[in-house]
Structure 1
Amino acid sequence: MNPKSDPFCSFGIIADVQYADVDERYNFHKTRLRNYRKSLVLLERAVSNWTSEGVDSVLQLGDLIDGLNTKHNASESALAAVVDVLNIFPGPVYHTWGNHELYNFKQELLRTSELFSGNLPQCACPEGETYYSFNIHRKLKVAVLNCYEISMLGLTNDSSEYKIAEGILSENNPNQSWNNPDGLHGTNRRFVKLNGMVSDSQLKWLKEVLQQAVNRLENVIVMGHVPVCEHSTGNMFLCLNHSEIMEVLTTYSSCVMCYFAGHFHEGGSCVDSSGILHVTFPGTVESSEPDAYATAYLYRDRFVIHGKGSYPSFQTKLRYSIEDS
């Protein structure tokens, strides 16, 4: 799937870097090794390659630093380390937040940090909110979700969003630890603390963005840290209200081309019944390859994702072709 002609634009994609200056160790289930220091090297290689290739921008799908940083009082230094690497890239980097950012920082603080791209002048962000949209090309819009708008992560215990999430987990997960899905089956395994959900107002905003895209004949990529299609991820790693988001996406499948996520480190993909490509990108922190990133290319009638190392490649048709002029 190597590009054979000049694309209209290109951008990098990376997920779950989860950098921490700590020794490698296995994940919670003792099934996958995480190399926290190597992940920074992989990020550096990705940025270097994107810069030399001249890609226009980067999509960062969340979990840029690991929650282990909190135990070592290293949240600020870890964030500074990854931001320093990303700042080498000459173009804009568009972020979404994952659960590991929220183990380190409150959402209110992240809104004023370099990890909130809704502050960039080219982004359209509702006032006071944490989701936004922007155009990579006049025919390609990206809508960025906050999949933890309602959650028990990065919010104060007395906030309404925290209390709603607490009630949902209390009702659906009987385990002593709400990070434990034991005894839950199928998609009910998503009722764990490491997931969150979007609000009704965020869903309304998404519908408005997608309707505008239909009116303007724009192709759309929706991205969020947490997957929403059960066939592209493990059941434990779904957004709490994934079915409501899926309903919106499929309703507007005339413009929605892809949904990008991270969170599930094994990665996964599927094309849903409406033709939308769902890609859950693998966790860079668990890559055993010398590279772990992807670069996407927009052509006249197709969209190509070229994976490097542990990242897979994909291709899909555009909803609206781009004139050659």
Structure 2
Amino acid sequence: MPSAPLFRFGVIADPQYADLAPNLTLNRYPAKSLGKLREAMEEFNRHDLAFVVTLGDIIDREWKSFDAILPVYEASRHRKHFLLGNHDFAVAPTHLGTVPARVGMSSAYYDFSLSGYRFIALDGNEISVFAPPEGDSRRQEAKDLMKALEIAGALNGQRWNGAIGDTQYDWLAAKLKEAKAAGEKVIVMNHYPIFPENGHNALNSDRLLALLAEHDHVVAYLNGHNHAGNFGVSDGTYFVNFKGMVDTEDTSAYAIVSVCEDRLEISGFGRETSRTLALR
């Protein structure tokens, strides 16, 4: 008989709210996300969840969009965790430095432990052409990464992608070792995918993938950003790209993940795929 879950948590990717007309080319309906998010909160409230995480792109653009969407999260009876995405920085330059604080984050990257699991939330926007303030050297660093990827013929040297810097990379490496020493399994979360190869992958996806491959206790990597969704397995780690909530006029996408001793059970709602991922 399958073991009962140790705990469950809710996942939302890319609500990307703004009071804007639909983008019919991309099939995105940013104004509809308030209603979709309300429905997701109602569904989550019917379950006993440890937390609900939003994997970035809370808004599509404009600072005032936070004023409309963040109150919808207040209906949740569960603990809330946020990650930030590229669209969360599509705000006036004066607001760039305070985006994490606006959504209640004391740091743009962080970790927490729960029932033998370590969750590591990354800030994939750290090196990018949109999140650092104008004139910051990290913008040039992002351009250099993009150029190198373009020369190498890679798909992901795009201005909508970002990377983590050396300090955050070292922090991640230390947290992975710390979790190993504590006997914890690890789930890494980021806005940006790193596997399979895709035009939405982080600018330094190869470096991150190589680091995770060194650690057999990393069971899963969860992300958004690529609204179509994606899935892959590399070196025993599952890479799950959740679908974008903002896409389509009348369907939503979100999930509940049940963490069990021997497996992760992903229950998809709307367009999200349900999966059973056996743990080694």
TM over 0.5, yes or no?
yes
2:272, 2:244 → 1: CA distance?
A: 9
Asked if 2 retains the 8 angstrom alpha-carbon contact of 1:96 and 1:115, the reply is no
Which has the higher mean CA deviation after the structures are superposed, 259-268 or 87-96?
87-96
2:250, 2:48 → 1: CA distance?
A: 23
The 3-state SS of whatever aligns with 1:167 is helix
**In structure 2, what residue type is equivalent to 1:98?**
G
Structure 1 residue corresponding to 2:210, chosen from 232, 247, 250: 247
Counterparts in 2 of 1:1-325, with a 5 A limit?
Answer: 6-26=4-24, 30=25, 32-67=26-61, 70=62, 75-76=63-64, 78-104=65-91, 106-116=95-105, 119=106, 130-135=108-113, 137-170=114-147, 188-231=154-197, 235-252=198-215, 254-272=216-234, 274-287=235-248, 290-318=251-279
1:50, 1:14 → 2: CA distance?
A: 11
Percent identity, please: 29
1:157, 1:172 → 2: CA distance?
A: 23
**In structure 1, what residue type is equivalent to 2:272?**
Y
1:215, 1:286 → 2: CA distance?
A: 41
**In structure 1, what residue type is equivalent to 2:70?**
V
Q: Which runs of 5+ in 2 are unaligned?
A: none
1:100, 1:295 → 2: CA distance?
A: 24
**In structure 2, what residue type is equivalent to 1:276?**
T
1:87, 1:6 → 2: CA distance?
A: 29
1:170, 1:192 → 2: CA distance?
A: 9
**In structure 2, what residue type is equivalent to 1:82?**
I
1:255, 1:112 → 2: CA distance?
A: 31
Q: What is the RMSD of the two structures over their aligned residues, measured on CA atoms? A: 2.1
The 3-state SS of whatever aligns with 2:240 is strand
TM-score normalised per structure 2:
0.92
The 3-state SS of whatever aligns with 2:46 is helix
Asked if 1 retains the 8 angstrom alpha-carbon contact of 2:3 and 2:262, the reply is no
Which has the higher mean CA deviation after the structures are superposed, 238-247 or 294-303?
294-303
- Tell me the alpha carbon deviations over residues 242-268 of structure 1, each in whole angstroms, 9 at most, x when there is no partner: 00000111101x210111111111111
CA 1:42–1:281 in structure 2 vs 1: closer, same or farther (change >3 Å)?
same
1:63, 1:247 → 2: CA distance?
A: 26
Asked if 2 retains the 8 angstrom alpha-carbon contact of 1:98 and 1:263, the reply is yes
2:86, 2:167 → 1: CA distance?
A: 21
